[in-house]
């Protein structure tokens, strides 16, 4: 086992840190100068790794080790008192016993053998027609490459070794450039002059396929214009099993179909711009606690234990949609799946992703998610990021020179390396990145590590002293009708969900009271809550990792630098007619209401803002370590709402509550108070936040958002599987998904629990009526899909072990410290032997009958039934309705009658604009996959062919108004 002191405490983005403790790390300055200057942050990140984090007193405290280090400090203070020392040591042992679940002496045990069956070798890419030309070009290029060039393409150059967050080396002899990989799912992380789009959860709340696509296209265009080759998004993992999960906000909602459709549309938009999209995190990264080795003080990451059917029908479903959409990269996740690290899980990567789903692109690791060298390559990993191995920013890669050695000594087949490289190069051709008019091959025109014009290309190397222009400040946000802020505003507005509107209190008029009403004074509107205001500015905290001011996004690698953030307070004050409406604003959660009761008593309407924040687990804020600690509002938001609702207008005013949140919040404390007349779930609206909420409140836009998750009355209502594992239950923490298919609304339906607001729910300023549901069979029901098609032949290579000279350092080569090179020092480094292959490597695997093309067996995507329904706007306001289609399997017969099915499962949705008193006919197509379940015995999708499948159409998961049968 490796030395734990050299693996200690690293996260994807840098050293695990607590902003309250103020550790120094080498990261970019923010636009608000919240990040340190270059001189202040010139600290070698690996200094931490070279020490014992538990005993080196010069190391600043790290969150995961804080209890231990506090005890160490006590130990030192009583150094001359042996009795006290023994007591402290005893406490340490007890602490680690509790933490590790198996006791201190089990702390460094290896994890048990994985529970995923082996699946070898990796299926080669280039077996489907739609990628054939790209693979032909790629194969010709790869055949001309040296070993060092091949290794360069598959291995990142190291953390901060290049301008992007991830960089690969070039193959100069054949003209293939190094690639730049950049976060993230809602915009370009660390970039200037780029758009801060609404987060994925807000996109999901729009239920608008066109906006999903257009946001993706704008995002892709900005990435291309900034010189980015690979965009690290969209995100569909986590799916949202646990409502308090820290990164749920990066995805699109808690249903696999909603996630899958949103991801496919986003991928389509990004890749039309020539940028490689990355679907992530594959698979089971549902919480932040224990997601990564050492990040929480344990030597191993947790294991997400998911059964085969659940994996296919739930967590894998949106990835299948993404592969069908042609996604060119998949990112494997940090944690284990069934006790095998995801980035080294051969069943997952080789068997499911590359064979069954027919994935043709390349698999990249999450940053430091690779846990082995040859093993991960054999298991299906194609690219390691950022290139560093088990320790952060050390330049000691598991691949790089080690991959060169593995090929030369015969422990890694040359055929596997050729496939790894060809997959990357084929993706480059598939997206048209050989077009010099779109990609000049010069890399990013911005730096992730400094805002200054001049800087270092390899910021993380202490001996790179070459100053170059690293920031060209290219504005990629668009202008005029093509300005991306227009799309950002549309997504933010349509992703705002009105869940309560008692007495049609909304919309308010910007001109105050209606002329038909007599009032002694103009309308008085009070705006309350810290979430309504600017706070210290949107970029006050690094990676947005604190909750202050209005909440526009969650935190972590998925966050971006805001070019601006319109606050609700500023937008509302600007939107109201100042001559007729008197607005006052108190952007604090602690207004002096007891000392100055008139602040509330003198209002006709009170608009109160509150929020709940969370994010990626590499950083903590106020005790929230990525995953939220509960589902309540933060910073006293619930109390503020109660006080405002009770006192507004002396008890006679109307209170409107607006919530910005990374996920569902429990609203039972105040939602039924008499003064609370309206409630709006505004999600995470991005840079146009204030303009979006003003448009909704004032009726400039008719609300059309629908909840992408269920709002329950308590966390317990979501079921046992919905609870974060906050404390380790073993050396390798285990999170077993016992609930299977039953998360979110599926659990509420099965358990007959009434939520506060159900999945898919959302109000409008008009009303819609449904009629004339028609289900038309297209193809006859049969249990199994058609036989797997043969496919086309993959490219062939000369798989002879190359000459060792191809991997030796060139003479007079100037090496940069910590930079990951493909070269080895001398020929004697190669030790040829009979190296063992993984157990099961020689077992012949039969191609899955569920496979055969991108997205699986082509028959899975054939349409077996059409559905149509008429929707009429019976109100007086034009508006958009989200028509939702669910399937039920209660009336199936035959063997399927004994299969456990959820009450209802979402299988389609369409958002339509309908003018007042008009009717639109909405159409759906149901594919074989939509109508099937995963049979763990047949290892295939099986359609119930006896009895009838129930088709239900309506406005939410609990408002299904029409029923038909297939």
- Active-site positions read 366
**Residues paired with residue 734 on neighbouring β-strands, in sequence order:** 303
Sheet holding 768-777, edge to edge: 768-777, 863-873, 919-927
CA distance 840 to 789: 26
Residue with tokens 């009895």: 947
CA distance 197 to 74: 47
Which among 560, 561, 558, 538 has a CA at the least distance from the CA of 549?
538
> In Å, how far from its chain's centre is CA 606?
35
Length of the chain in residues, anyone? 966
Which among 132, 855, 797, 841 has a CA at the least distance from the CA of 421?
797
Residue with tokens 């070039």: 170
With beta carbons less than 8 A apart as the criterion, state whether 30 and 539 touch. Answer: yes
Cis before 243? omega within 30 = no
With beta carbons less than 8 A apart as the criterion, state whether 257 and 251 touch. Answer: no
CA distance 646 to 644: 5
DSSP 8-state class, residue 460 = T
With beta carbons less than 8 A apart as the criterion, state whether 219 and 187 touch. Answer: yes
Q: Let me know if 478 is exposed, middle or buried by CB neighbors in 10 A (0-12, 13-18, 19+).
A: middle
Which among 689, 806, 838 has a CA at the least distance from the CA of 403?
806
CA distance 371 to 379: 12
With beta carbons less than 8 A apart as the criterion, state whether 173 and 146 touch. Answer: yes
Please state, as a whole number, how many other Cβ atoms lie within 10 Å of the Cβ of residue 42: 11
Write the CA distances from 463 to 458, 815, 818, integer angstroms. Answer: 9, 9, 9
DSSP for 229-286? SEE---B--S--SSTT-TTGGGSS-SSHHHHHHHHHHHHHHHHHTTPEEEEEEETT--
Which among 645, 560, 549 has a CA at the least distance from the CA of 588?
549
CA distance 608 to 659: 9
CA distance 909 to 259: 12
With beta carbons less than 8 A apart as the criterion, state whether 376 and 370 touch. Answer: yes
Residue with tokens 């408002």: 959
**Residues paired with residue 711 on neighbouring β-strands, in sequence order:** 757
Numbers of helices and strands, H then E, in the chain: 19, 31
Tokens of 955: 């406005």
CA distance 201 to 728: 29
Cis before 583? omega within 30 = no
516 Cβ neighbours under 8 A, 6+ residues apart: none
Phi then psi dihedrals of residue 768, to 5 deg: -125, 145
DSSP for 495-526? T-EEEEEGGG-PSPPTT-S-TTS--SS-EEEE
**Residues paired with residue 947 on neighbouring β-strands, in sequence order:** 892
């Amino acid at each position: 086992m490796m030395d734990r002191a050299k693996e200690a405490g690293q996260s994807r983005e840098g050293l695990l840190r607590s902003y309250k403790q103020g550790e120094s790390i080498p990261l970019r300055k923010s636009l608000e100068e919240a990040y340190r200057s270059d001189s202040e942050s010139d600290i070698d990140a690996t200094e931490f790794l070279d020490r014992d984090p538990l005993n080196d007193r010069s190391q600043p405290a790290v969150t995961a080790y804080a209890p231990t280090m506090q005890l160490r400090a006590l130990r030192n203070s009583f150094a001359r008192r042996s009795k006290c020392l023994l007591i402290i040591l005893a406490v340490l042992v007890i602490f680690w016993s509790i933490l590790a679940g198996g006791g201190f002496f089990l702390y460094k045990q290896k994890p048990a053998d994985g529970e995923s069956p082996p699946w070898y070798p990796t299926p080669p890419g280039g077996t489907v027609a739609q990628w054939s030309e790209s693979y032909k070009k790629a194969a010709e290029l790869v055949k001309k490459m040296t070993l060092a060039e091949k290794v360069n393409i598959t291995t990142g150059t190291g953390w901060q070794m290049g301008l992007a967050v991830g960089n690969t080396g070039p193959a100069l002899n054949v003209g293939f450039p190094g690639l730049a990989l950049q976060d993230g799912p809602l915009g370009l992380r660390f970039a200037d002059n780029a758009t801060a789009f609404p987060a994925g959860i807000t996109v999901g709340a729009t239920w608008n396929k066109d906006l999903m696509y257009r946001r993706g296209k704008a995002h892709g265009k900005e990435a291309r214009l900034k010189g980015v080759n690979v965009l690290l998004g969209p995100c569909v993992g986590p799916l949202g099993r646990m409502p308090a999960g820290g990164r749920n906000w990066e995805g699109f909602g808690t249903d696999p179909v909603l996630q899958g459709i949103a991801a496919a549309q986003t991928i389509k938009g990004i890749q039309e711009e020539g940028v490689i999209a990355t679907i992530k995190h594959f698979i089971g990264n549902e919480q932040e606690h224990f997601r990564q080795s050492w990040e929480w003080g344990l030597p191993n990451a947790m294991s997400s234990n998911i059964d085969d059917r659940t994996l296919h029908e739930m967590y894998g479903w949106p990835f299948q949609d993404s592969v069908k959409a042609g996604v060119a990269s998949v990112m494997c996740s940090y944690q284990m799946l069934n006790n095998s690290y995801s980035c080294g899980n051969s069943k997952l990567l080789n068997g499911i992703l590359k064979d069954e789903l027919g994935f043709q692109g390349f698999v990249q690791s999450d940053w430091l998610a690779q846990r082995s060298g040859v093993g991960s390559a054999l298991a299906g990993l194609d690219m390691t990021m950022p290139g560093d191995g088990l320790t952060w920013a050390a330049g000691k890669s598991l691949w790089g020179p080690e991959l060169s050695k593995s090929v030369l000594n015969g422990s890694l087949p040359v055929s596997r390396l050729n496939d790894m490289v060809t997959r990357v190069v084929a993706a480059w051709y598939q997206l048209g990145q050989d077009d010099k008019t779109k990609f000049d091959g010069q890399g990013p025109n911005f730096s992730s590590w400094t805002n200054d014009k001049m800087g270092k290309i390899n910021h993380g190397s202490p001996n790179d002293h070459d100053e170059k222009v690293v920031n060209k400040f290219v504005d990629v946000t668009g202008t005029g009708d093509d300005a991306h802020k227009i799309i950002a505003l549309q997504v933010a507005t349509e992703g705002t969900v009105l869940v309560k509107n008692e007495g049609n209190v909304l919309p308010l008029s910007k001109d105050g009271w209606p002329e038909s009403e007599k009032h002694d004074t103009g309308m008085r509107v009070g705006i309350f809550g810290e979430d309504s205001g600017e706070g210290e500015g949107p970029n006050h905290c690094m990676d947005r990792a604190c909750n202050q001011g209005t909440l526009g996004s969650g935190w972590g690698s998925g966050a971006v630098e805001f070019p601006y953030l319109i606050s609700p307070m500023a937008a509302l004050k600007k939107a109201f007619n100042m001559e007729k409406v008197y607005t006052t604003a108190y952007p604090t959660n602690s207004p002096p209401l007891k000392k100055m009761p008139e602040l509330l008593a003198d209002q006709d309407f009170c608009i109160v803002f509150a929020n709940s924040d969370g994010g990626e687990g590499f950083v903590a804020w106020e005790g929230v370590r990525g995953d939220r600690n509960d589902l309540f509002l933060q910073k006293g938001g619930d109390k503020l709402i109660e006080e405002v609702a009770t006192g507004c207008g002396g008890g006679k005013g109307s209170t409107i509550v607006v919530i910005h949140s990374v996920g569902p919040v429990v609203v039972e404390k105040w939602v039924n108070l008499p003064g609370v007349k309206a409630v709006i779930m505004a999600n995470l609206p991005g840079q146009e936040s204030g303009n979006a909420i003003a448009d909704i409140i004032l009726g400039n836009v008719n609300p059309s958002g629908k909840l992408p998750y269920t709002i329950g009355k308590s966390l317990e209502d979501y079921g046992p599987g919905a609870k974060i594992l906050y404390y380790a239950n073993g050396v390798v923490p285990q999170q077993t998904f016992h609930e299977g298919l039953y998360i979110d609304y599926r659990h509420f339906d099965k358990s007959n629990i009434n939520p506060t607001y159900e999945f898919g729910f959302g109000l409008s300023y008009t009303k819609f009526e449904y009629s004339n549901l028609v289900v038309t069979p297209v193809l006859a029901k049969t249990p199994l899909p058609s036989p797997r098609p043969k496919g086309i032949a993959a490219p062939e290579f000369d798989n002879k072990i190359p000459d060792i000279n191809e991997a030796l350092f060139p003479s007079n080569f100037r090496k940069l410290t910590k930079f990951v090179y493909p070269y080895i020092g001398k020929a004697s480094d190669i030790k040829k032997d009979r190296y063992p292959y993984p157990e099961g490597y020689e077992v012949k695997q039969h191609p899955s009958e569920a496979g055969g093309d991108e997205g699986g067996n082509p028959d899975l995507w054939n349409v077996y039934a059409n559905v149509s329904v008429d929707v009429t706007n019976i109100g007086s306001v034009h508006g958009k309705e989200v028509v939702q289609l669910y399937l039920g399997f209660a009336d199936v017969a035959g063997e399927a009658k004994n299969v456990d099915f959820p009450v209802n499962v979402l299988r389609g949705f369409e958002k339509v604009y309908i003018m007042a008193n008009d009717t639109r006919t909405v159409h759906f197509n149901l594919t074989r996959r939509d109508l099937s379940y995963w049979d763990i015995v047949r290892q295939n999708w099986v359609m119930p062919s006896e009895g009838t499948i129930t088709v239900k159409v309506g406005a939410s998961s609990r408002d299904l108004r029409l029923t038909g049968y297939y």
